[in-house]
Amino acid sequence: MSSAHVEGGGHTTGYEARRLHTNDMEIGVTDAIQKHVQRNVVAPKPVTQRRLDFEHSRPRWFREMAAEALGVFFYVYPGIASQASFFLNGTEPIFGSLFQIGWAYAIGIAFAIIVCGPTSGGHFNPAITLCFATWQGFPWKKVPYYIFAQIFGSFMAGLILVGQYHPQLMLLASGLRAKGVSPNSLGGPGSVLCSFPGPTETNYGYLFFIEFFVDSFIGLVIWAVLDPANPFIAPASAPFVIGLAYANMIWGFANVTISTNLARDLGTRIVAAIFFGGDAFNRYAPIAIFVNVPATLFATLVYEVLLKDSFAIIAKGHNVHEDGEEGLTRHLTKTGTLEEGITSNIARRDNYNGVYENGKAEASPV
């Protein structure tokens, strides 16, 4: 931009550099902003060798476990905090709603991926870790470490939340016990931490299929987002799309009880059992804890078999043929793609030459 304002008719429009408080003459908005930033940003100090040595000495496995635990904490903590605000205030709209809870989980998932994903890969779900090991070559020896860390992160989120809301949660628990109702029931303090079905939801087959299809939906979205050949997803948007997939299912099915994540449910369910009774592990608990694993494996199987385009991934440079260039050439020859490409290139060349000759003839004097 060459100038910051235009004067006409005693009137000034557009931008004025003086508003930036740079004390510069009218030099153009872009230049003024750049000078302003250069004056006010402190350059980072150089990285010391001591820092590099420390970072190099950190065990990789420990960093990955810490990132997975912290990522699940980032995901679970805002969600159950939003649930606490909602349930402990009698579900008054001013203190929250299912819509707010859905957004709390969605943004928590996005923050978890942004903060911890670069270190561990951002699984944050045992089912996703198992899918990576099954389909993407993630080392099986790391699977137990990842799953333990994920459950631990959820456990810590539940433990800290109980500490923060301890008086209110215990008051609610004592009031329910006085009525002969378990604190580990819908609307009780246990339901702040993990899922419990309503008193009329006694058809466990029905709850199983709801959980299965909800988790399959989320699994398909996650696998599509992680597909490097997908033209509709940019790396910067991936955390928010995955978070919205979770929120979408919370908005649709929270009223009939869903869990969506083994680590998220088991970690907080252990906390509910410690503080509010062992009946936290009731007949519904296996559905909440385990169903998301086969559901997510099913969803990723559907994507791998029906939707994935490995050739497009190779073509975009995100992967290679197991036999290198020779294997890729063999595949192209086998499918006729190589011959089609050669024929297409020849046709384009001939067409170009024809156009060039015609243009040359038209330009020649008669």
Whether residue 134 is contained in a domain is answered as: yes
What pLDDT, on the 0 to 100 scale, is given for residue 264? 95
Token pair in block for residue 283: 């007949």
CB atoms within 10 A of CB 302: 15
Q: What is the pLDDT along the chain (366 residues), one digit of tens a residue?
A: 444 444 444 444 454 544 445 444 444 555 554 555 555 567 788 989 999 999 999 999 999 999 999 999 999 999 999 999 988 887 677 777 889 999 999 999 999 999 999 999 999 999 999 999 999 999 999 999 999 999 999 999 999 999 999 999 999 999 999 999 999 999 899 999 999 998 888 899 999 999 999 999 999 999 999 999 999 999 999 999 999 999 999 999 988 889 999 999 999 999 999 999 999 999 999 999 999 999 999 999 999 999 988 888 877 777 777 777 777 777 777 777 655 544 554 455 555 455 445 554 444 444
Cα separation, 60 vs 42, in Å, equals: 32
What pLDDT, on the 0 to 100 scale, is given for residue 5? 43
Whether residue 362 is contained in a domain is answered as: no
Whether residue 127 is contained in a domain is answered as: yes
What pLDDT, on the 0 to 100 scale, is given for residue 31? 54
Indicate the number of domains in the chain.
1
What pLDDT, on the 0 to 100 scale, is given for residue 34? 54
Which CA distances in Å does 48 have to 55, 165, 324? Answer: 11, 43, 40
Domain that holds residue 133: 60-307
Provide the strand spans (E) within the chain: 5-8, 11-14
Whether residue 184 is contained in a domain is answered as: yes
Give CA 124 to chain center in angstroms. Answer: 9
Global pTM value: 0.80
Find where tokens 């065990």 sit: 59
Whether residue 40 is contained in a domain is answered as: no
Whether residue 116 is contained in a domain is answered as: yes
Whether residue 175 is contained in a domain is answered as: yes
- Given a contact cutoff of 8 angstroms between Cβ atoms, the answer to whether 325 and 333 are in contact is no
- Phi and psi angles of residue 6, each rounded to the nearest 5 degrees, phi first: -120, 130
∠ at Cα 6 (5, 9), nearest 5°? 135
What pLDDT, on the 0 to 100 scale, is given for residue 44? 80
* CATH number of 302's domain: 1.20.1080.10
Whether residue 250 is contained in a domain is answered as: yes
Token pair in block for residue 348: 């384009």
- Given a contact cutoff of 8 angstroms between Cβ atoms, the answer to whether 230 and 224 are in contact is yes
> What's the CA dihedral at 323, 325, 327, 332 to 10 degrees?
160
